[in-house]
């Protein structure tokens, strides 16, 4: 395939340089958006009289055909192409002749890339938001079944106070809701300003209508500063930041799943379809999905690092370094999608061992705060109530019992405020029911 820029050059590009320079193997995935952007551009060129109406129509029809041919597999990608933009333009000219050569009037690959990438990410992020929504629905459905399932709540991974499994899961639903909201913000900002028409860096001398292309591609306005338009990759960094936060949330959840299905906890059991075995230890059932999600968080954090470091030293405007944005952001998008796709069904199919959760909650004096609160409600200052309860816990440890089974006389020995109703006050169910603001 001839280079678009061959006029200035008298030699062919070295074949290794060709491969090194080419972004086609990864940016070919933006073919739909490249065609969409070119159609909008061609229509505008025709309307503004920059090319003839008939050339504009010929270009749009040609692009339409290329789209169908790629979809049907009739048109195969040429791995020698420099990038997707070159491939489509060259193919168009091969198919429709002279008119095809006019498509790139008043445009550069710099504004074209910046536009295509935004359009591509808008579509991918919509899919991620759908997957996040499905995950939230699953988490809430499991939570609904466990409004009365009592488990230990932890701080420092030490049993702290009783909670319901529903509350614990709802915490993750809240995180995933914020993740979705964050993506709305980022995509809203990304789609505010359209870079098409910034051309290489300094705009164009043709009387283009940038409002028209911006609107037809779903942007609010054309971007204001053309140098910024072609060299801004903040939107990629914001998206990968939002994706990194999703992975951080998924990774925390994974860590809990891994703990919960250990024999030490045995709070849940994963479905056989969502766990794996060992090649040597016949008894093993491993939570590989959760471990991989936790591991893959590292990739997405690294993608964010790639983008930040890639951009930090670049002078204005476009620099070829910026071609490196795509592999990082595509990897982040693909990884998050993959993780979300397996995570929701893994949760939906797990078995929850309510009895084990209840049993774990009944150990470790997790109703001690409620015992202190009982005294406070009877008129004692919290700090005194705290001290007396601490002494009762120490007594339980000494007598190898728990607060529920400690005789009332022992309570009365510490404070005359204790009476028979202490046992109702420290029942786990009472503790959970009486806490306000837990959901
Ligand atoms: N493939 C390039 C990229 O993704 C776009 C081409 C711009 N190239 C150029 N030499 N101005 O960044």
Q: Which residue has the tokens 């055909």?
A: 65
Average pLDDT over residues 169-190: 98
**Catalytic position from the list 52, 54, 79, 278:** 278
Extract the tokens encoding 226. Answer: 């053309």
Shortest-distance Cα residue to atom 12 of ligand 1:
323
Question: 4 C-alpha to center of ligand 1: Å?
Answer: 12
390-432 pLDDT tens trace: 999 999 999 999 999 999 999 999 999 999 999 999 999 999 9
**Using 50, 70 and 90 to split pLDDT, how confident is the model at 275?**
confident
Q: From the alpha carbon of 110, which atom of ligand 1 is closest? A: 7
Report CA dihedral (73, 78, 83, 89) to the nearest 10 degrees.
Answer: -70
pTM of the model: 0.94
CATH classification for the domain delimited by 15-105, as one of 1.10.275.10, 3.40.50.720, 3.30.1700.10, 1.10.3080.10: 1.10.275.10
Average pLDDT over residues 285-304: 97
Q: Return the CATH architecture of domain 364-433.
A: Orthogonal Bundle (1.10)
Residue 439 has pLDDT above 60, yes or no: no
For residue 56, what is the enclosing H or E element?
Answer: helix 53-72
Average pLDDT over residues 170-189: 98
Average pLDDT over residues 126-135: 98
How far apart, in whole angstroms, are the C-alpha atoms of residue 396 and residue 241? 49
For residue 269, what is the enclosing H or E element?
Answer: strand 268-269
Residue 284 has pLDDT above 90, yes or no: no
CATH dotted code for 120-359: 1.20.200.10
Shortest-distance Cα residue to atom 4 of ligand 1:
323
Window from 13-22, 46-55, 67-76, 348-357 with minimum mean pLDDT: 13-22
What 3-state DSSP class applies to 137? helix
156 included as an active-site residue: yes
Question: 114 C-alpha to center of ligand 1: Å?
Answer: 9
Residues with CB under 6 A from ligand 1: 23, 27, 83, 109-110, 113, 318, 322-323
How many angstroms separate the Cα of 3 from the Cα of each of 80, 87, 149, 412? Answer: 10, 10, 66, 92
Which distant-in-sequence residues (6+ apart) come within 8 Å of 15 by Cβ?
Answer: none
Q: Where are the domains of the chain?
A: 15-105, 120-359, 364-433
Q: Which of 113, 202, 307 to mutate to test the pocket of ligand 1 (most atoms within 8 A of CB)?
A: 113
Q: From the alpha carbon of 117, which atom of ligand 1 is closest? A: 4
Q: What local confidence, expressed as pLDDT, does residue 305 receive?
A: 98
Closest to 242 (Cα-Cα) out of 347, 121, 135: 121
Q: From the alpha carbon of 82, which atom of ligand 1 is closest? A: 1
Closest to 392 (Cα-Cα) out of 420, 365, 423: 365
204-253 pLDDT tens trace: 999 999 999 999 999 999 999 999 999 999 999 999 999 999 999 999 99
How far apart, in whole angstroms, are the C-alpha atoms of residue 115 and residue 113? 5
Closest to 172 (Cα-Cα) out of 360, 353, 343, 361: 343
85 included as an active-site residue: no
Q: What local confidence, expressed as pLDDT, does residue 277 receive?
A: 81
Q: What local confidence, expressed as pLDDT, does residue 438 receive?
A: 52
136-162 pLDDT tens trace: 999 999 999 999 999 999 999 999 999
**Catalytic position from the list 15, 156, 251, 254:** 156
More confident residue, 275 or 180: 180
């Amino acid at each position: 395939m001839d280079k678009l820029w061959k006029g200035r050059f008298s030699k062919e590009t070295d074949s290794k340089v060709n491969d090194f320079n080419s972004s086609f193997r990864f940016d070919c995935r933006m073919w739909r958006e490249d065609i969409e952007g070119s159609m909008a551009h061609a229509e505008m060129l025709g309307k503004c009289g920059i090319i003839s109406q008939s050339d504009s129509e010929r270009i749009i029809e040609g692009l339409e055909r290329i789209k169908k041919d790629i979809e049907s597999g009739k048109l195969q990608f040429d791995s020698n192409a420099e990038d997707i933009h070159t491939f489509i333009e060259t193919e168009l000219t091969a198919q429709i002749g002279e008119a095809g050569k006019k498509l790139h009037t008043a445009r550069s690959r710099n504004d074209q890339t910046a536009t295509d990438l935004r359009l591509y990410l808008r579509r991918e992020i919509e899919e991620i938001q759908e997957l996040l929504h499905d995950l939230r629905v699953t988490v809430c459905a499991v939570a609904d079944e466990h409004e009365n399932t009592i488990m230990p709540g932890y701080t420092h991974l030490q049993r702290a106070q009783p909670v319901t499994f529903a509350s614990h899961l709802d915490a993750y639903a809240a995180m995933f809701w914020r993740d979705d909201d964050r993506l709305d913000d980022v995509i809203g900002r990304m789609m505010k300003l359209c870079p098409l028409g910034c051309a290489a860096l300094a705009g164009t001398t043709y009387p283009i209508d940038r409002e028209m292309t911006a609107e037809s591609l779903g942007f609010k306005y054309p971007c204001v500063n053309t140098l910024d338009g072609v060299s801004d990759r903040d939107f990629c960094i914001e998206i990968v930041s939002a994706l990194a936060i999703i992975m951080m949330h998924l990774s925390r959840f994974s860590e809990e799943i891994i703990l919960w299905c250990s024999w030490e906890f045995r709070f849940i059991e994963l479905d056989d379809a969502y766990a794996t075995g060992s090649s040597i230890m016949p008894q093993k059932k491993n939570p590989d999905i959760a471990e991989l999600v936790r591991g893959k968080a590292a990739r997405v954090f690294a993608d964010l690092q790639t983008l930040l470091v890639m951009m930090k030293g670049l002078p204005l405007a476009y620099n070829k370094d910026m071609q490196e944005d795509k592999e990082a952001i595509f990897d982040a998008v693909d990884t998050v999608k993959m993780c979300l796709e397996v995570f929701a069904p893994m949760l939906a199919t797990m078995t929850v061992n309510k009895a084990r959760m209840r049993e774990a909650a009944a150990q470790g004096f997790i109703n001690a705060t409620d015992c202190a609160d009982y005294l406070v409600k009877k008129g004692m200052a919290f700090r005194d109530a705290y001290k007396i309860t601490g002494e009762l816990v120490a007594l339980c440890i000494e007598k190898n019992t728990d607060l529920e089974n400690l005789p009332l006389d022992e309570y009365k020995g510490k404070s005359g405020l204790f009476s028979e109703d202490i046992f109702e006050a420290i029942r786990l169910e009472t503790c959970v029911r009486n806490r306000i603001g837990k959901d």
